[in-house]
Amino acid sequence: MKIIDTHIHIFERPYSDLFENSHIKDGEDGELHLYEEYRRKYDIESAFVICYDEGHCPANGLYVKGLSEKHKWIHSFGYVRPGNHFQSDAERIISDGHFGISCYLKKDDSGEWLRSRGLSFLQNNNIPLSLTIWPHQCRMLQKTLADFPETTILINHMGRPSSENMKNYDAILSLSKFENVYIKLSGFYAFSSEGWRCPQKDMFHVIDLLKNNYGSERLVFASDFSPVLEFNTYRQTLEMLRLDYCGFCEKELENIYYLNAKKIILKRGK
């Protein structure tokens, strides 16, 4: 089965350097080289590379954009900071040649700026938005999507389903009424009570909820390479839905691992 991985990072300085235990090299000989090995081994056709211009690699978007020009399997999502400047920054990022937009909302952000400055440009140009959002912010997002329902949005890491956040998780599920909202099945290690223990079975009930609300047609596989490697191997991450969760039939797995992401790529027209 071909695979499209809808959430990876490729940093110019390896992510694991933050923990002072990295044996991965800097630059293209590092995380890029490692992911190329995974591509060959697991038949990964392409990947959505989510840029993050903060922390140890503040020019990550520029670096990933350069890689995407040399490696056609990379669909780069340029980083845009949240706020009233979102639309103008998104227009600049897309004019630079990125495939989509990456945005991370802080927990105390109301997100109201999205209603007046943000989604019209994305909707009108079929530009997908990879969005890290908290469940309590999704009621605002529902109001915004009511005005821009054709916007393609990929919710990162299942919308952060921690024990604290589950009281607002219905807001994540309610987004399923918008046909262009997709949920990335990723980040299990970050929200499980035993993040290091694979498979993270205490997260399987979240997959059940998402499956019941979104169906297999709007769930997508996402590994969260390379941060996931601090907890699990790539193979463990890749195979969890197929070999451990076991709640999807073969056709549903094809949707999740490949066909749904392919639809997003074709819609973008690149």
Pairing relationship of beta strands 44-50 and 153-155 according to DSSP bridges: unpaired
Scored b (16 or more CB within 10 A) or e, 92-114 reads ebbeeebbbbbbbbeeebebebb
Global pTM value: 0.95
Domains in the chain, CATH or no CATH each? 3-268 (3.20.20.140)
* Type of residue found at 127: I
pLDDT digits (tens, 9 = 90+) for 95-147: 999 999 999 999 999 988 988 777 999 999 999 999 999 999 999 999 999 99
For residue 38, which of 267, 258, 237, 220 has the smallest C-alpha distance?
237
Q: How far apart are the first and last CA of the chain?
A: 23
CB 113 within 8 A of CB 143: no
pLDDT digits (tens, 9 = 90+) for 60-84: 999 999 999 999 999 999 999 999 9
